[in-house]
Amino acid sequence: MAGLATAFGSGAMTNSINQLLQTNVILLVGANTTEAHPVTGYRIKQAVKDGSRLIVVDPRKIELVRYADLWLRIRPGTNVALLNGLAHVIMRDDLWDKQFVAERSEGFEEWRQGLEQYTPEYVANICGIKPELIEEAAHLYAQAEKATTVYAMGITQHTSGTNNVFAIANLAMVTGQVGREGAGVAPLRGQNNVQGSCDMGALPNYYPSYRFVDDSAARQDLEKAWGVSPEAGAPGQPNGQGPAGLPVEPGLTVTEMMKAADRGEIKAMYIMGENPVLSDPDANHVIEALKKLDFLVVQDIFLTETAELADVVLPAASFAEKEGTFTNTERRIQRVRKALEPPGEAKPDWLILVELANHLGRPWHYPRGPEEIMEEIARVTPLYGGISYARLEETGIQWPCPTPDHPGTPWLHAEKFTRGKGRFHRVEHLPPAEEPDREYPLLLTTGRMLYHFHTGTMSRRSKRLEAIHDHELAMLNPDDASHYGICDGDTVQVESRRGKVKTKVQVTDHVPPGVLFMTFHFKETATNLLTNAAVDPICKIPELKACAVRVSKV
């Protein structure tokens, strides 16, 4: 997200999902949409059936490979090399959009110099593919009337994640494939309200609407709006003694929090609706860190693996039991409606927060509930300035929607980039933080499958989904399987430097030789015991897509 935000000024998907039907060339990188974002997967298939060309960049033989004109089966973790290679060909063959670059971008010359070594032959060697494929893909993408790059966690969950995104942004800018209907860059959000959580400032460095916490103007605006007077008290004032000014220092990211907790610097955590024990890399480390806390509050709908470690567990309402809004991956703010009463004494998270704030001495008061909270959001969040429940009744609205009469924005960066000019970033190929070696000869990459979701908290408690698929099925290439004497259906132990798990194995050419694929949906096979918590230096996204493991039959 930071990558795109830095390059374009906004980290969000530039266009709309259904504009995929209008695009001529789709470059799909590190996104298994038919399983992880199925309805977007439908759109890509529809587009292809309707004549769009599809380039798939993925080590795995995902379903969309069948629909692809070109499949670039690169080695995991070599995205930057490939994307630079595409740009190299585009420059070499003079396929770039000179006018767009001149009028809409900056940093071009420096970036251009960095491309020189990324010849097709050089890149092909790094990525393990034929150089002709790189040339073909570059031509297809650059010469398309409208091209869209679609990516997901296969791009971001690497130590080079931000660089990957920079490289994608560079490619879009140099070819002018952004800022038009049907042409843009589409990061797909993994969860239903990742976009909204970010928009709302549930981030250590941003207030709502992506205003930096160290931007004093923003801070003053919010202090005023939230009734926090900077003069009224110092940080650390006891409960009830009046508000303190807003903190100035950017906060910690999840992975940093866990490390800080491990060091004893974080004493207490309040976790609302997340399950880091299963979702975060290097799970053993997460558990240890959480155990070291003085105080842990977990608020969830189930007693998750994380909640089991808590001092206090608060029962929350599910999506069907509350009012509110979610913002989807295409920036569309949509209503969530209450269909049922929460079970027992469970309460919606917003109400718990309000009541807890009241107990901490703050007179938060939203008698009209989430609708009234949204009115406050609209006041302090310029992107949401024109949003109200009345307007969302029929259908959602895509931000930016600054005023009540603004129709919303189906595609961003139309006249100019959110940050003014688009910024080129010179990026270099770097190998993953942990590469296979003698001891751990296989590369583990993780992802999702269709029938389950994330840590399985929801999907595995839906008995019909569970009836279709109820266990981890790691994917191993036939070459490796025969090398290790493993048969389809065998149970194996997978081990990394951080932990080990047992799983059943499917022997399939879905994965290339040397690569093992696993999901993280099944607590019985807690894949994140294996993964590496090494993070991207800018975004702090952990490298869930590559770590070294070994397998043995049990």
Partner 1 sequence: MERITVTINGNQYQALKGSTILKAAEANNIHIPTMCYEEGLSIPGCCRMCVVEVKGARKLLAACTTPVTEGMEIQTESDRVVEARKDILRLYLASHDLRCLTCERNGDCRLQDYCYRYKVEDTPYRGEQKKYPVDISNPFFFRDYSKCIMCGKCVRVCAEINGAYVYDFMEKGFDSKVTSAFDDPNQETACTFCGMCVQVCPVAALVEKSVMWAGRPWEMQKVKTTCPYCGVGCQLKLKVKDGRIIGVAKDKSGSNLGHLCVKGQFGWEYVHSPDRLTRPLLRKNGKLEPVSWEDAYNHIARRLSSIRDQYGGQALAGLSSAKCTNEENYLFQKFMRTLIHTNNVDHCARL
| 506 lies in the binding site for partner 1 (CB under 8 A) | no
CB of 73 vs partner 1, minimal distance in Å: 21
DSSP 418-482: TTBSEE---------SS---SSS-EEEEEE--TT--TTSTTGGGSHHHHHH--S-EEEE-HHHHH
The single residue among 95, 246, 430, 538 that binds partner 1, judged by CB under 8 A, is: 246
Report helix, strand or coil for 58: coil
Burial class (CB in 10 A: 0-12, 13-18, 19+), 338: middle
| 216 lies in the binding site for partner 1 (CB under 8 A) | no
* Residue 232 in tokens: 């009224």
* Residue 281 in tokens: 């890399």
The residue to which tokens 């696993």 are assigned? 518
CB of 345 vs partner 1, minimal distance in Å: 5
Task: State the number of binding residues for partner 1 (CB under 8 A).
Answer: 158
Which residues, other chains included, contact 415 with Cβ-Cβ below 8 Å and sequence gap of 6+?
179
| 270 lies in the binding site for partner 1 (CB under 8 A) | yes
Query: Based on CB atoms, which residue is closest to partner 1, 492 or 544?
Result: 544
CB of 367 vs partner 1, minimal distance in Å: 14
Binding mask 526-545 for partner 1 (x = CB under 8 A): -------------xxxx-x-
Which residues, other chains included, contact 420 with Cβ-Cβ below 8 Å and sequence gap of 6+?
9
| 353 lies in the binding site for partner 1 (CB under 8 A) | yes
The residue to which tokens 């099944």 are assigned? 522
The single residue among 8, 111, 326, 424 that binds partner 1, judged by CB under 8 A, is: 326
Burial class (CB in 10 A: 0-12, 13-18, 19+), 275: buried
| 318 lies in the binding site for partner 1 (CB under 8 A) | yes
The H or E element containing residue 184 is: strand 184-187
Among the listed ranges 111-119, 127-135, 445-453, 491-499, the one in contact with partner 1 (CB under 8 A) is 445-453
| 451 lies in the binding site for partner 1 (CB under 8 A) | yes
The single residue among 54, 86, 266, 534 that binds partner 1, judged by CB under 8 A, is: 266
The single residue among 94, 102, 113, 239 that binds partner 1, judged by CB under 8 A, is: 239
| 314 lies in the binding site for partner 1 (CB under 8 A) | yes
The residue to which tokens 């569309």 are assigned? 332
Query: Based on CB atoms, which residue is closest to partner 1, 86 or 534?
Result: 534
CB of 315 vs partner 1, minimal distance in Å: 4
- Segment 164-193, which members bind partner 1 (CB under 8 A)? 188-193
CB of 458 vs partner 1, minimal distance in Å: 5
Q: Are 548 and 442 in contact (CB under 8 A)?
A: yes
CB of 131 vs partner 1, minimal distance in Å: 31
d(CA 71, CA 52): 15
The residue to which tokens 């979610």 are assigned? 326
d(CA 229, CA 249): 17
Query: Based on CB atoms, which residue is closest to partner 1, 223 or 480?
Result: 223
| 370 lies in the binding site for partner 1 (CB under 8 A) | yes
Among the listed ranges 73-81, 119-127, 315-323, 420-428, the one in contact with partner 1 (CB under 8 A) is 315-323
| 226 lies in the binding site for partner 1 (CB under 8 A) | yes
| 230 lies in the binding site for partner 1 (CB under 8 A) | no
| 115 lies in the binding site for partner 1 (CB under 8 A) | no
Q: What is the DSSP letter of 274?
A: -
Query: Based on CB atoms, which residue is closest to partner 1, 204 or 441?
Result: 204
Burial class (CB in 10 A: 0-12, 13-18, 19+), 493: middle
* Residue 498 in tokens: 């951080």
Report helix, strand or coil for 349: helix
The single residue among 93, 215, 294, 479 that binds partner 1, judged by CB under 8 A, is: 294
- Segment 53-112, which members bind partner 1 (CB under 8 A)? 67
| 215 lies in the binding site for partner 1 (CB under 8 A) | no
Q: Are 272 and 244 in contact (CB under 8 A)?
A: no
How many CA atoms does the CB half-sphere of 510 hold within 13 Å? 16
Q: Are 286 and 277 in contact (CB under 8 A)?
A: yes
Among the listed ranges 99-107, 124-132, 291-299, 473-481, the one in contact with partner 1 (CB under 8 A) is 291-299
Among the listed ranges 123-131, 177-185, 340-348, 401-409, the one in contact with partner 1 (CB under 8 A) is 340-348
CB of 177 vs partner 1, minimal distance in Å: 21
